[in-house]
Amino acid sequence: MTDQSSHSSDDGPREGVIWISVHHADRKALELVSLEIAAAGTGMAPGLTSIVGGRPKPSPLLHLHSFLIIKNECKINISMDGKDKVHSELSEYWVPSATYDYADQPVSHVSGLITGSKSYRLEELAITRSGDKANSSNIGVIARHPAFYPYLKQALTSQSVADYFTHVFPADVNPVECVKRYEVDGIHGLNFVLENSLGGGGVASLRSDPQGKAFGQMLLDFVVKDMPDIETLSKA
Rounded to an integer, the average pLDDT of 28-46 is: 78
Rounded to an integer, the average pLDDT of 35-46 is: 72
Q: For the chain, which residues make up each domain, given as ranges?
A: 1-59, 111-235
Rounded to an integer, the average pLDDT of 221-226 is: 96
Report the range of poorest mean pLDDT among 114-118, 201-205, 230-234: 201-205
Beta bridge partners of 127: 142
CA distance 185 to 201: 29
Maximum average pLDDT range among 32-36, 109-113, 181-185: 181-185
3-class DSSP state of 27? helix
pTM, two decimals, is 0.74
Which H or E element spans position 218? helix 215-219
SS (H, E, C) 82-134: CEEEEECCCCCCCCCHHHHCCCCCCCCCCCCCCCCCEEEEHHHHEEEEEEEEC
CA distance 200 to 216: 19
Beta bridge partners of 142: 127, 189
Residues with Cβ within 8 Å of residue 61, at least 6 apart in sequence: 23, 200, 203, 204
Comparing CA positions, the residue from 100, 104, 65 lying closest to residue 192 is 104
Contact 56, 34 (CB under 8 A): yes
Comparing CA positions, the residue from 205, 212, 209 lying closest to residue 17 is 209
Report the range of poorest mean pLDDT among 33-47, 114-128, 157-171: 33-47
**Percent over 90 (pLDDT), the chain:** 50
In sequence order, what DSSP letters do the residues of 145-195 get, joined into one string? Answer: SGGGHHHHHHH--HHHHHHHTGGGS-TTS-HHHHEEEEEEGGGTEEEEEET
Residue 165: is its pLDDT beyond 90? Answer: yes
Confidence of residue 8 (pLDDT cuts 50, 70, 90): low
Please report the pLDDT score of residue 64 as a whole number. Answer: 75
Rounded to an integer, the average pLDDT of 21-46 is: 81
3-class DSSP state of 109? coil
Contact 61, 204 (CB under 8 A): yes
In sequence order, what DSSP letters do the residues of 73-90 get, joined into one string? Answer: G--EEEEETTEEEEE---
Comparing CA positions, the residue from 32, 80, 78 lying closest to residue 56 is 32
